[in-house]
Amino acid sequence: MKVSVNLEKCFGHARCEDLCPEVFATDPVEGKCVIKNSEVPPELEKKVILAVRNCPEFALQLSESEAEKS
């Protein structure tokens, strides 16, 4: 599973960082989401899905990783 952010839509609520700090951080200058590791480790998938569903701006998307596509 991969996760990405649309920075046009992110306005820095940081709900994702609260829910899964292992994957999400906030850029110290822009105040917007930074994804530390877009390939989500299996043990964090549930937390990342929750982070995506809790984004008030709908700025996060999930997709299949390369390995899953093949």
Partner 1 sequence: MTLQFHPSEPNHVPPELIVDFDMFHVPPGLSDPTQIWHNLVREGAPKIFYTPRNCGHWVFLEYEDIADGYLNHEIFSTHQTPIPPIEPFPTMQPQGMDPPEHNVFRRILAPLFTPVAVKKLLPELHRRSAELIEPLVAKGRCDFITEYAERFPTSAFLHIMGLPQERLADFLRMANTFFRATDEAERAANLNEIYGELELMFRDKEKNPGNDVASVIVNARDANGHQHPWNDILSCGFLLFVAGLDTVTNTMASVWRYLAATPSARQFFVEKMNKPEALMPAIEELIRITSVANNPRRIAKDCVYKGITFKKNDRLLLVATLANRDPKVFNNPQTIDLDREVNAHVAFGVGPHRCVGSILAKREIMVSLQEWLKHMPDFWLADPQPPSTMFGGTVMGFKSLVLEWSKEAPK
Binding window for partner 1 (CB under 8 A); candidates: 28-36, 37-45, 61-69: 28-36
7 binds partner 1 (CB under 8 A): no
- Residue 66 Cβ vs partner 1, minimum distance, rounded to whole Å: 28
Take residue 18 and report the two structure tokens written for it.
Answer: 């609260």
The pair phi, psi for residue 61, each rounded to 5°, is -130, 145
Mark 1-32 as b/e (b = at least 16 C-beta within 10 Å).
bbbebeeeebeebbbbbebbeebbebeeeeeb
Out of 17, 23, 40, 48, which residue is the one contacting partner 1 (CB under 8 A)? Answer: 17
Residues in touch with partner 1 (CB under 8 A): 11-15, 17-19, 21, 25-31, 50, 53-58
